[in-house]
Structure 1
Amino acid sequence: MTETIDSAARDDRRPPREERRRPRLRIHRAWLVAAVTFVTIIGGAAFNSLPGLLIDPLHREFGWSRGEIGLAVSIDMALYGLTAPFAAALMDRFGIRRVVASALTMVAAGAIASVWMTASWQLMIYWGLLVGLGTGAMAMAFAATVTNRWFVARRGLVTGILTAAGASGQLVFLPLCAWIIDEHGWEPASVTVGLAALVVVVPFVCLLMRDHPADVGLAPYGGTYVAKPAPARGAARRTLRVLFDAARTGPFWLLAGAFAICGASTNGLIRTHFVPSAHDHHMPITVAASLLAVIGVFDVIGTIFSGWLTDRFDARRLLAVYYALRGISLLFLPVLMAPDVRPPMVFFIVFYGLDWVATVPPTLALCREQYGDDSAIVFGWVLASHQVGAAVVAFLGGVARDVFGSYDVVWYAAGALCAMAALMSLVIRRVPAPKEPVVSG
């Protein structure tokens, strides 16, 4: 009897049979694909942040006006935005790996070829056309496609991490590129960006990236095995059809208009013209670029916190508050410019970082509320308006600097535009929640 009890006690101490058979924990291939995507998006952020550092060096070396240089930057930003809605369709048709490898090669070609340019139209081809198209194919659609294919569980976490990759790229590359330009000139910085693109292509994208979990015989992380779908041939037509349908509604134009102002006051204005504006006030270019990098740090914090707020408060009011506070801060920026970094400027940088893409979660929530199943594509077009707004201000900001001799009027105009965006956000109509069916007793 005692022997039987001892045997039962030993059995109780053993793990269940199914646990004994469970294989040792292995990292799912989806996380490796996510890591490659993270590295690629970091590179894309570096390519987009460099043109703002080139304005003064190109102006000094070639005598090109800031308006001409700003036009090249605006072409880059516009194509980045207009390519994004179609990037997912291209990936469905040709595969993630082919599209991203081609995009990085295009970026490398544009960045390296710019070393031999002698006319401003070449800058528009190399940095405007090639880099714009290449980085546009690695925009949010890239992160969304990877997340949707490779993850069922943890999609929110992965989306947040990949969104933060853009800010991380700005953090890593801006001070480095600014130092290279300050010590060795703009050509080595451009070559560095081009070589970084090529380094990502071969060892990361070509060898480690896969288009679909079925390519390696796996199920998506947290899901069940799904066969790889056939290449989609009608995705581009659907992208255009959704645009035409949404364009017939008022909320689309309010969302797109407000998000265009968002792009104008971030990528078009601060990312492009903050460094040359600070340099006008005798601040070293490396210091100004480091301030932009700090924006990248607080950008991550602000985006995550904004997502938390969006789950709890009205997205319209959140957007109105974000835009209003951003506009007020821009009105004070001209008096904060100085040769060195002072506490008020640090406060501006921290605040602007928190507000930088805090507008994305509530804007996406409103797209979802208004357009349902088509909300992702609608958001892609709203994102395109963001980049078009950035492109217009990148160009007009340079023109204003040429005409007025300073950027002050640009900051004031952007502040007024942000006030307009706040009002546009408040008047977006609500979609009534579906009524519960009445069950007669």
Structure 2
Amino acid sequence: MRSPFSLSAEETSPRYYGWLAVGVTFLTMATGGAVVGTFSVFYVSFLEEFGWSRADAALGFSFSMVTFALSAGAIGWLIDRWGPRAVIPSGVAVLGAGLALMSTVRSLGTLYLYYGFVVALGITLIGFVPTSTVVSRWFRRRRATAMGIALSGRSLGGLVMVPLSAFLIRAYGWRSAYLILAAGITLFLLPLTAALHRAPPLPPEERPGARGEPPAPAEGLGGPAFWFVFLAGIFHSVGFSMIGLHQVAYLVDVGLSTLAAASLIGMLAALRTLGGLAGGWCGDRMGRTAAYFASCAASLAGVFFLMGVSAERWPLAYLFVIFMGLGEGARGITFLSIKADLFPARSFGRILGFSQVGAGLAAAVGPWLSGYIHDALGSYRYAFWVVVFVDVLSLATVAAAARGGRAPLTRGERREGA
């Protein structure tokens, strides 16, 4: 049967094969990529069964961020060299194996190895760096829109995956829940990604290594803009991860049920989808940096609402979900758009991967730091004030990166520079 999609169609045509690639990456992020969000639900089960401290249990997630950070550059290179059809199905297989191994966890060491390395490597092979690189190469004029759709899959997937995980744990136990997720994700994604991914038909000037010697990573690392983006990624990631892993535990601590808390986080994931799409649209009209500032303000408001949640003031949990969901969704897309404006397209996979090293290492520290603060001081409130501080620092460094790299700040500036 002849495919209705064409490699030679215009980007604006619904028959353009790039839109099928966006659909495949969206589904990949919505199922496999959304596994990241389920750890906060399984985390509560680990605490209940094993009696581990919150800091020790959170280290499993922290080690996964280390794996992400250390492998992102290499995975970007693999995507540049071998393409999505080889790399992404391999990641699905690794992820499925890691989730199956998680059903056998009986000690902190096995948690750290199976989740912190195997599951994390699988997610990284199918996640942010490969998705962003692949979609950016299929599109030029519609790149921001396509990226927003593809990356929003992870947030929308969280709407299903987080409550689904809570349901499976309650119905069958957390070990069986991991086996069900492993089988479902592998059986769905492996044939999908192997069959439908294609190498994007890049023009010569955008192929890696075109026009002379292959560009070294230093091409993207040499200027001050890269280092400002690097620092901004650190501040953003440490703040986001300090809340992300512990938000279910915090809501349970203040009086919500585990299922209610998981459902709220699922709603937050759905709103991150809307925020990502809105952030791309706003960034094209009001400027990348201005959109990033607005999204940060919304996220900060969400942190303050979260700090106010209690059994009596439970409606504040909904305000937290609304502001944090929309703010973080827009923030992620606008930050990625700033990177795309600053760095060469022909080696974007490698440059994006190396730029994520600091963010990944910071995200490894965040969950442990929140758990340590809670264990030492008996409250998450002090950890949330740290989040406020680092978010303000991310605003300053993104502004410096955009100006130092001469990234267009407004729609008018982009038109003048076109």
TM range (shorter): 0.7 to 0.9
For residue 282 of structure 1, give the secondary structure of its aligned residue in structure 2: coil
CA shift, 1:30, in A, is 4.7
Q: Distance in 2 between matches of 1:414 and 1:433?
A: 27
CA contact (8 A) 1:177 1:189 kept: yes
- Report what 2:235 is aligned to: 261
Given the alignment of the two structures, is residue 241 of structure 1 paired with residue 246 of structure 2, yes or no?
Answer: no
- Cα separation, partners in 2 of 1:117 and 1:360, compared to 1, 3 Å: closer
- Report what 2:319 is aligned to: 347
| TM-superposition CA deviations, 1:278-334 (whole Å, max 9, x none) | 111231111111111111222122222222322233433443443344334323422
For residue 357 of structure 1, give the secondary structure of its aligned residue in structure 2: helix
Task: Letter of the 2:362 partner, please give it.
Answer: G
CA shift, 1:395, in A, is 1.4
**Which has more radius of gyration?**
1
CA contact (8 A) 1:111 1:194 kept: yes
CA contact (8 A) 1:30 1:150 kept: yes
For residue 287 of structure 1, give the secondary structure of its aligned residue in structure 2: helix
Percent identity of equivalent pairs: 25
| Unaligned 5+ runs, structure 2 | 1-12, 414-418
1:56 to 35, 44, 63: 44
For residue 34 of structure 2, give the secondary structure of its aligned residue in structure 1: helix
| TM-superposition CA deviations, 1:255-285 (whole Å, max 9, x none) | 222222222233x133211001111123111
1:294 to 267, 270, 281: 267
Q: Distance in 2 between matches of 1:190 and 1:361?
A: 30
Alignment of 1:373-392 (within 5 A): 373=345, 376=348, 377-392=350-365
- Report what 2:166 is aligned to: 178
CA shift, 1:199, in A, is 0.8
- Report what 1:367 is aligned to: 339
- Cα separation, partners in 2 of 1:265 and 1:357, compared to 1, 3 Å: farther
CA shift, 1:390, in A, is 1.9
Q: Distance in 1 between matches of 2:176 and 2:227?
A: 42
CA contact (8 A) 1:70 1:394 kept: yes
CA contact (8 A) 1:147 1:155 kept: yes
Task: Letter of the 2:329 partner, please give it.
Answer: V
Choose 131-140 or 36-45, whichever is displaced more: 36-45
Q: Distance in 1 between matches of 2:407 and 2:134?
A: 31
For residue 393 of structure 1, give the secondary structure of its aligned residue in structure 2: helix
- Report what 2:9 is aligned to: none
Task: Letter of the 2:91 partner, please give it.
Answer: A
- Report what 2:88 is aligned to: 100
2:104 to 92, 97, 116: 116
Alignment of 1:182-201 (within 5 A): 182-201=170-189
| TM-superposition CA deviations, 1:371-425 (whole Å, max 9, x none) | 4557835444334433322221111112222222221211121112222223333
For residue 283 of structure 1, give the secondary structure of its aligned residue in structure 2: coil
- Cα separation, partners in 2 of 1:197 and 1:147, compared to 1, 3 Å: same
Q: Distance in 2 between matches of 1:88 and 1:76?
A: 17
| Unaligned 5+ runs, structure 1 | 1-24, 214-219, 436-441
CA contact (8 A) 1:84 1:140 kept: no
- Report what 2:199 is aligned to: 212
- Report what 1:395 is aligned to: 368
Q: Distance in 1 between matches of 2:54 and 2:120?
A: 19
Task: Letter of the 1:262 partner, please give it.
Answer: H
For residue 107 of structure 1, give the secondary structure of its aligned residue in structure 2: helix
CA shift, 1:198, in A, is 1.6
Q: TM-score, normalised to structure 1's length?
A: 0.78
For residue 352 of structure 1, give the secondary structure of its aligned residue in structure 2: helix
CA contact (8 A) 2:33 2:127 kept: no
Q: Distance in 2 between matches of 1:359 and 1:84?
A: 20
CA shift, 1:47, in A, is 1.7
CA contact (8 A) 2:288 2:338 kept: yes
Q: Distance in 2 between matches of 1:30 and 1:244?
A: 29
For residue 285 of structure 2, give the secondary structure of its aligned residue in structure 1: coil
Q: Distance in 1 between matches of 2:324 and 2:253?
A: 21
Choose 329-338 or 55-64, whichever is displaced more: 329-338
Task: Letter of the 1:259 partner, please give it.
Answer: G
CA shift, 1:343, in A, is 2.8
CA shift, 1:70, in A, is 0.9
- Cα separation, partners in 2 of 1:161 and 1:367, compared to 1, 3 Å: closer
CA contact (8 A) 2:272 2:329 kept: yes
For residue 116 of structure 1, give the secondary structure of its aligned residue in structure 2: coil
| TM-superposition CA deviations, 1:326-373 (whole Å, max 9, x none) | 33432342221338x833221221111110132234434443554455
Task: Letter of the 1:36 partner, please give it.
Answer: V
- Cα separation, partners in 2 of 1:406 and 1:133, compared to 1, 3 Å: same
For residue 330 of structure 2, give the secondary structure of its aligned residue in structure 1: coil
Task: Letter of the 2:300 partner, please give it.
Answer: G
- Report what 1:138 is aligned to: 126
Q: Distance in 2 between matches of 1:209 and 1:433?
A: 34
- Cα separation, partners in 2 of 1:324 and 1:61, compared to 1, 3 Å: same
- Report what 1:9 is aligned to: none
| TM-superposition CA deviations, 1:146-195 (whole Å, max 9, x none) | 33555577544432221111112111211110111233321122112211
- Report what 1:166 is aligned to: 154
Q: Distance in 2 between matches of 1:353 and 1:151?
A: 27
- Cα separation, partners in 2 of 1:354 and 1:109, compared to 1, 3 Å: same
- Cα separation, partners in 2 of 1:363 and 1:53, compared to 1, 3 Å: same
- Cα separation, partners in 2 of 1:98 and 1:431, compared to 1, 3 Å: closer
Given the alignment of the two structures, is residue 307 of structure 1 paired with residue 280 of structure 2, yes or no?
Answer: yes
- Report what 1:13 is aligned to: none
